[in-house]
Each structure stands twice: as C-alpha cells, then as structure tokens.
C-alpha cells in the first residue's frame, strides 16, 4: 500500500501555481504593465471606498475591513493569473523547441 499523496501531488493546479510563483519570472513587458495596472486599479478602489465618500457615513469597520481584504484577494488572483499564464507560456515554448 502506497503512502497517501500530499496536497501538492494531488492538485496539479496548485502545483503549477506554486511553481509559477516560485520561479520569480514576472513575464514580458506587457505582463509587467498588466501587473502594475491591476495594482493601481485595486489600490484606487481601496482608497475610494475608504476616502472622502465616507465622511459622515456610518460604516461598520469590520465589514469595511472585510471588503478591503476581498479587494486584496482580487488583486492577488489577477496577479496569480498572470504568473500562471506566463509560466504556461514559458513551458509551451520549451515543449516546442
């Protein structure tokens, strides 16, 4: 009887994400521009949700904290998509050679 597989061994998508994030490759210039755009858009949304428009508005701090964390998660997911896409593209190029 073989030992149970680790999560890394079981989940190829997770393994690909870890590999992509570990290789440190930010991708080409367009990928870098996209990363910067995502960061700018999400950061602007965070500032808009917590800035001038909130003056005099009764807001639950816990819920706003959760909303900001969700925006951070959205940013992370978009950046992960770039990492995975870059990694897949690089892998495909190696296979074509």
Dist. CA 2–CA 24, nearest whole Å:
34
Angle between helices 61-96 and 29-50 (to 10 degrees): 170
Domain, as residue range, for 16: 7-96
Domain count for the chain, please give it: 1
Residue recorded with tokens 């808009």: 48
Quick check: is 82 in a domain? yes
- Residue 40: predicted pLDDT: 94
- Residue 9, sorted as left (phi over 0), alpha (psi -120 to 50) or beta, turns out to be alpha
pLDDT at position 96 over 90: no
Between the ranges 59-63, 83-87, 89-93, where is the mean pLDDT highest?
59-63
Contact 25, 94 (CB under 8 A): no
- Residue 87's pLDDT band (cuts 50, 70, 90): confident
C-alpha closest to that of 45 among 81, 74, 78: 74
Quick check: is 1 in a domain? no
């Amino acid at each position: 009887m073989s030992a149970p597989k680790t999560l890394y061994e079981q989940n190829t998508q997770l393994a690909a994400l870890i590999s992509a994030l570990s290789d440190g490759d930010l991708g080409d210039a367009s990928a870098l521009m996209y990363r910067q755009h995502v960061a700018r858009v999400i950061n602007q949304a965070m500032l808009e949700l917590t800035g001038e428009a909130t003056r005099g508005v009764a807001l639950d701090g816990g819920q706003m904290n959760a909303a900001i964390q969700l925006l951070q998660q959205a940013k992370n997911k978009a950046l992960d998509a770039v990492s995975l896409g870059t990694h897949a593209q690089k892998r495909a190029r190696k296979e074509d050679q």
